[in-house]
Structure formats: C-alpha cells, structure tokens
Structure 1
C-alpha cells in the first residue's frame, strides 16, 4: 500500500525547495536526479479508469518497469493506493507478470480478466519529468521526498507538472503532514488530491470543472464513535477539496456553493464530537475564516441569481434595475476572486495540512462506544434543541428564525452522516421535513441578507441610490408578504419522530 502526500508549488520556488535546510538536515544520502518518461495505458472505453486502476510503463536506469495502482482512497489529503511494480522487457505492459504480482487479490485479477484486454490496451498519454529524490529520516520516520518538474502530453497538447510527493516508506502517516508544514514555512505549497494519472485522464476526456456534491457515507454496523468521527471528517474534507479547483479556475456559482456547504458540514461534524475531541482553537479559527470567505461570495451569488430576479420579473420595475444587477454582478465577481485567492493562500494549505495531522493522532478517549449509541444520543439532543428554537421563533425577530434554520440544518447534517445506521420511512420523513424547513426559512433569510448587501452597495454607489432604495423597499415588501408560516413549521417539527 502506497501512502503519500502530494503538494503543488510554483516552478519559481523550486530552488527554494532544492536548497531547503530542512531537507539537508534529514537527508540520508545525496539527492538523486533522473529524467523519467512514462506511458499510461488503457482501453478506448477507459476500462481501467472505470475500475479505479491506472497502468503505466516507465524506463528507470535502463530498465522498463510496469506499475499498476488501484483502489485505495484520499483522506484529508493523504493518498493510499495498492501498488504492484516489476520489470518488463519492453515499453508495453506484460499482463501475465502483473497478475503474478497481484497474487490472490481477486478484485484486481477480475479487472485484468476483461475480454481482449491485452489487444485493446493502447498508450493514452505520456508523463515526462525531471525528478529529484531524497531519502529522509525524520524523527525515526523514513520518508521519500520527490520533486517532479515536467509535463503531461497527449496528441501534442501539454499540461505542466510541478509537484512534491512525500511518500511514507516506514513510520507514522502524521509525520508526512508535520514535515509538509515545516517545509511550508519557507516554500509556498498547495495540497493536491489529484495524481498524475488523473490529470492525464482529464486531458484525454477534456473534462471541465463541475460542482461536486457530498458523497453518501456508509458506516459499518459495528463502527465505534471514533470510527464514525474519522469517516465523517474525511467525507466533509473530500466534499470541500473536490470543488476547490472549480472555484479557483471556473465561474459556476454552484461549485462555490458546494464548497461552502462542505465547510458547513465540517463545522457541524466537529461540533458533534467536540466533547471528546475538541478541534484545536487555531484550526477552528481557520475553518471559520474559510467559511466566511466562501460565504461572502455565495451571498452575492444568491442576490444576483435569485433575489434580484424577483424585481426584474415584476411589471413596473424601474429600468435602473438592470444597472443595479450590473453593480451586483461586479461585486459578485470581486468576491468570487477573493474566495479563489483564499484557496490559493498558504493559510488554506496550512489549514488542510494541520487538519490532516490532527486527524492522524490516536483516537481520543470517550469515543469507544458504538456509533449507533452515539448517534442516538446526539440526535435526541439536536432534536430537542430544534424544537426549542422553533418554539422561540418570532416574525419580528429575524435572528430567531435564522437560529431555527441553523438548528434544522445541523440536525439534518447529523442524520445524513449517520443515515446508514438507520433506515425506513421515519428516516426519509425526518430528512424531508428538515429540508423543507431549511428551504422555507432560507428564502426568508435570503431577503434579510439581500437588504444588508444592498445597503453596502448604497454606500459605495451614490449615483444608484434611488434604484437601490427602490429595490430595498420592494424586497422588504416581498419579505412581509411572504413571511413563512411559523405555526405550520412548528407543528411539522413537533410531529416528527426520530428514526
């Protein structure tokens, strides 16, 4: 099993890494430099990719080596994959030799047993890099550090590569995060969840950046609360990181929304376990910062795409509303750019590395109980708090409505985390009711936030004051006419029964 961290850096910072005193202090031997070229193979219908495998042949010191990597996972930035590697006599895979390396692991033997696989294999792309390799001894942990600089090529199209890999040869996975944090003090780095093969396949498929929703979480029936904690936190981090590139490089508002939801889910998850495993204050502060950066951009997206549309679609609206939308669009783009810069910042990288290091620590005491018992206790507490918040809702106090929405959201997230431990109609009814509550109260909150944003625009654009005041008045009237039926919401929540 290969265990490694992947980090990106600017080519301009390569010399800083090559001369880093931390590397010199821990190197067991001088750096090795190689020119490597690897061909990656698959079928035209991407059989290996569809089964979570990658196959390459690379020449190393005059010998052809074939490598297949498959399965595994990426958790809090740590890549774990099965790896089988051995020499071949040609720049093309030898499937028979590969089967011998795989041994009795039937799942991967079945992948190689596909009809006419040998005949259908073809080279899809080439990865060519200059590699610098160090063998490090870090506090008793054997780590291989690699700097790769080069490109991925397919049919004349190139994608640059400039990355660091920290592979654990022997020792504690937490040492990878700790060492990366020390490197980052002098060399700007970014954590990467995408390996070279995945980037090569993206070049083949010419896939763009699309929003990624939270993936379903399956907890084993005999899982402990400690097992559930790690699985849930990793699920939240994956939700965040899978939308990272799309927020940086794209302009789809949904990708930013999904990343923000991922941060909210992470904060809710941390709160579930804070009694036994409190998040370090500095780390929690960084998570709050990230949510704030994404939230600021998301608020403008909602104003632009949803809230102001009510005015545009209304007969009698002033012609200046189009100018107002242009101002809102400019503000939304600026906030989106700020969110992207936050993700490119060293603070964000430090957040992810620190989170990964913290999660690699031994399971804290107090989480030995079955996950089912823990979930039952947590859900009872959240349900009680939700009913209490709902009882205190007051139309004249928007904050009380907002607090109820937050309580519904946290109860929903918790039940989604633990849903595999439950089942039946009660589960579906509970989740459906909480989603409906969030939607009704969320629409009300959008109008409250819209008024705040319009006041900000008013302070920045005196010439648009009349149009902004008109929009504020219209939306305030809309808020009054569309006040959610708080009584009906209370009744629906009180009728709920925990699954």
Structure 2
C-alpha cells in the first residue's frame, strides 16, 4: 500500500523548496515520461485503477495503482510495480504481481483487454527527490515540474509528493506543516492520472455531492470516525477547485454543505473525541467565508426571483455583491490558513481514531436516540411568534438527518429512507422561512452600501416580508409529523 501526501505550489516558489533547510542533501534529478493506458471505454478507470509504463534511468517500469482512499490530501492506494521490456504493458507480469487478489485479477481478466489497451495521455516531468528522516519517519520528498499531454492539449504539473517509506502517516502532515511555515502550499486530492483522465473525458469541475458512506455492521468506532469525517472532507475538497476557478453556484453550495456536515459530525463525536478549540475555530472561519458567499447566491438566484421582475437595478447590485463574496471565498481557499486547517484536520483524525473504543453501532444508536429526543423537544417549543424557535428546530432536524446519513449502512433501509425523507421535508419547509429572514438582513446591508437605490431595496424588503407573513410554515403540522416519526431499526 502506497501512502503519500500531495501538495501544490506555485512555480515561483519552487526555489524555496529546493533550498529549504529540511532538505539538506543534494536532490536526485530525473526526467520521467510516463504513458497511461486504458481501453476506449475506460475499463480500468471505471474499476478505480490506473496503469502506466514509465521510463526510469533507461528502463521501462510498469505500474498499476488501484483502490484505496484519499483524505485531506493523503492518498492510500494499492500499488504493483515492476520492470518490463517495452514501452507497453505486460498484463501477464501484472497478473503475477497482483497474486491472489481476486478483485483486481477479475478486472484484468476481461476478454481481449490486452488488444484493447491504448495510450491515452502522457505525463512528462522533471523530478527532484530527497530522502528525509524526521521524527522517526522516513519520507521521500518529490518535486515534479512538467505537464500532462493529451493530443494537442496540455495542463501544467507543479506539485510536491511526500511518500511515507517507513513510520507513521501522521508524520507526513507534520512535515507538510513545517514546509507551510515557509512556502505557500495547497493540498491536492487528485493525482496525475485523474487529471489526465479529465483531459480524456473533457470534463470540467462539476459539483461534487456527498457520497453514500459504507460501514460494516460490526465496525469499531475507531474505523467510523475517520470514515465519517473523511466523507465530509471529500465533499469539501472535491469542490475546492471549482469554487476557486469557476462560477457555478452549486459547487459553492456543495462545499458549504460539506463544511456543515463536518461541523455536525464533530459535534456528534464530541463526547468521545473533542475537536481541539483552535481547529474548531478554523472550521467555523471556513464555514463563515463560504456561508457569506452562499447567502448572496441564494438571494440572487432564488429569493429575488419572487420580487417584481422589473427591479433590474436591485438584481444588478445584488449580483455584484454575490460575485465579490464568491471572490472572497476563493481567496480564503487559496490562503495558508485553509491549507493548515486541512493538514491539521488530517493529522488529528489519524492520531485520534486509534484511541477510540466501542462499536459504531452502539455509538450511533445512542447518538440517534439523543438527537431524536432533542428534535422533539425543539419541535414542542416552536411558536409562531418566535422565528428563532423554528430555526432551532430546523437545525435539530438537520443534525439528526446528517447523523443517520453517516450511519445509514447500519440500519434497515426502509425505516432509514422514511426517517430521512421526513427530516428533509421539515428542513425544506422551515428553510424557506429562514431564507426570507436572511434575505431581509442582506437587503438592509445593501441599502446601507447603496443609499441611492433605497427605494427599490425597500420595495423588495416589503414584498418579501409580506410573503413571509402569508406563507408561514404550518408549525403544528410539522410538530405532528415529527411526533409520529420512529427511528429505524438496526440491521442486527
């Protein structure tokens, strides 16, 4: 199993790495050219594998990487590597290296795979590498500078790889944090093969939604914590590039949802693994940066659409602010604070999880019961004259829904689906009311910044306040539905 941390840096900062005091020996320098192979229908990619042949010091080396996971930039993958006598894969040799792993053997044994393979893209880099021993860990540090090429299209490569040769994976985060003190860095959650496949498929950065989390029924809590938190981090980080480089409001929304899920998960595990205050403060900062931009997106794309369409001046002012907030959110993601947050989060997870005792099932059952009781208590206190009471119920519904989504694999599907569907509906109904309240606050802010447009802004505020009064959620009906809800039964 290969374990490495991937980091991005700007080309103008390469010299800082090349002369960094942590790298106190001369670098080995190699020119590496690798061809990546797959079938026209991308058989290997669809099975989570990548196959390359690379020339190293005059020798052809065949490598297949497959499976594994990525959390906070830490890539853990199965790797099979060995010499071949040509710049083309030798599947017979690869099968021998895979050995008795039936899953990957079956992927390689599909009919006519040998004849269908073709080179799809080339990765050409100059590699500087060092061997570092630090904190009881042996780490290979690599700087790759070059490009990925597919036909006439090229994308640049300028990245650091920290590969753990011996020791504790948390040591990779510790080393990266030391580099971050001197060099602006960003975590990379996609590897060169994935970037090459993006060229092949001509795909952009689509919104990445939370993926279903698979947990074994008998999973220990020590496995559940990194699985749940890693699932949240994946949603955050897989939307990162699209938020920085793109304009799709949905990518920002999905990244913000990922942060909300992460905060909810940390609160869920607080009794057994309290999050360090400084780390929690940084997560709250990230949530605030994304939340400010998302609130303006909602105002522009949804809330103001309910107002008279002739209010073009107001739409234009709100859109300008939404773009400015999006830019601020992007800058936050490019900041050292964000990188430090993700590195620290990854390190804390690795060091905390092994200390946990007990089963995921027992923990989830107790947590869900507690959250359900809290939800009912909040629902009982809802009052039409107190908007905050409905908001608190919505938050409680969201926390219960996220918790069950995290542990859904441990519970019977029918009851789980019913429970999640009901909570999502409650969130939606109470959320519409909250959107209008947030919109009123944003419009007041806009009026202070643009007093010359106060007439149009006050008209919109009045219109939305009237809607809020006439389309209020039926709190009694919501309360009754929540009282009728029953937690799903476990699979045991």
Which range, TM-score by smaller chain?
over 0.9
Q: Which runs of 5+ in 2 are unaligned?
A: none
**1:25-44 paired onto structure 2 within 5 Å:** 30-44=26-40
Following superposition, the deviation at residue 477 of structure 1 comes to 0.4
1:486 aligned residue: 475
Equivalent in 436, 451, 459 of residue 447 of structure 1? 436
Count of aligned pairs = 488
Equivalent in 357, 380, 384 of residue 391 of structure 1? 380
Structure-2-length-normalised TM-score = 0.97
- Please state if 1:335 is matched with 2:325: yes
CA distance in 1, matches of 2:85, 2:422: 63
Aligned residues of 1:276 and 1:364 also touching (Cα < 8 A): no
Q: 1:188 to 1:268 in 2, by over 3 A?
A: same
Aligned residues of 2:206 and 2:251 also touching (Cα < 8 A): yes
- Please state if 1:259 is matched with 2:252: no
1:363 aligned residue: 353
Following superposition, the deviation at residue 105 of structure 1 comes to 1.3
Aligned residues of 1:221 and 1:421 also touching (Cα < 8 A): yes
Aligned residues of 1:59 and 1:65 also touching (Cα < 8 A): yes
Aligned residues of 2:273 and 2:352 also touching (Cα < 8 A): no
Aligned residues of 2:50 and 2:193 also touching (Cα < 8 A): yes
What per-residue deviation string (whole Å, max 9, x for no partner) do you get for residues 472-491 of structure 1?
00000000001101111111
CA distance in 2, matches of 1:195, 1:267: 27
1:498 aligned residue: 487
Aligned residues of 2:443 and 2:457 also touching (Cα < 8 A): yes
CA distance in 2, matches of 1:231, 1:407: 23
CA distance in 2, matches of 1:272, 1:476: 35
Equivalent in 328, 331, 334 of residue 344 of structure 1? 334
CA distance in 1, matches of 2:465, 2:320: 23
Following superposition, the deviation at residue 121 of structure 1 comes to 1.2
- Please state if 1:170 is matched with 2:166: yes
2:460 aligned residue: 471
Q: Which runs of 5+ in 1 are unaligned?
A: 314-318
Structure-1-length-normalised TM-score = 0.96
CA distance in 1, matches of 2:394, 2:354: 31
CA distance in 2, matches of 1:361, 1:461: 50
**1:32-181 paired onto structure 2 within 5 Å:** 32-181=28-177
CA distance in 1, matches of 2:113, 2:161: 31
CA distance in 2, matches of 1:127, 1:312: 54
Following superposition, the deviation at residue 369 of structure 1 comes to 2.0
Aligned residues of 2:7 and 2:187 also touching (Cα < 8 A): yes
Aligned residues of 1:277 and 1:364 also touching (Cα < 8 A): no
Equivalent in 198, 201, 205 of residue 202 of structure 1? 198
SS in 2 for 1:312: coil
**1:299-448 paired onto structure 2 within 5 Å:** 299-312=295-308, 319=310, 321-363=311-353, 365=355, 367-448=356-437
Aligned residues of 2:295 and 2:438 also touching (Cα < 8 A): yes
1:2 aligned residue: 2
Following superposition, the deviation at residue 368 of structure 1 comes to 1.8
Following superposition, the deviation at residue 169 of structure 1 comes to 0.6
Following superposition, the deviation at residue 73 of structure 1 comes to 1.0
CA distance in 2, matches of 1:275, 1:171: 30
What per-residue deviation string (whole Å, max 9, x for no partner) do you get for residues 321-360 of structure 1?
1110111111111111111111111111000000011011
Following superposition, the deviation at residue 76 of structure 1 comes to 2.8
What per-residue deviation string (whole Å, max 9, x for no partner) do you get for residues 433-475 of structure 1?
1111100000000000000000011001111100000000000
SS in 1 for 2:86: coil
Equivalent in 214, 223, 226 of residue 230 of structure 1? 226
Following superposition, the deviation at residue 364 of structure 1 comes to 6.1
Instruction: State the superposition RMSD in angstroms.
Output: 1.2
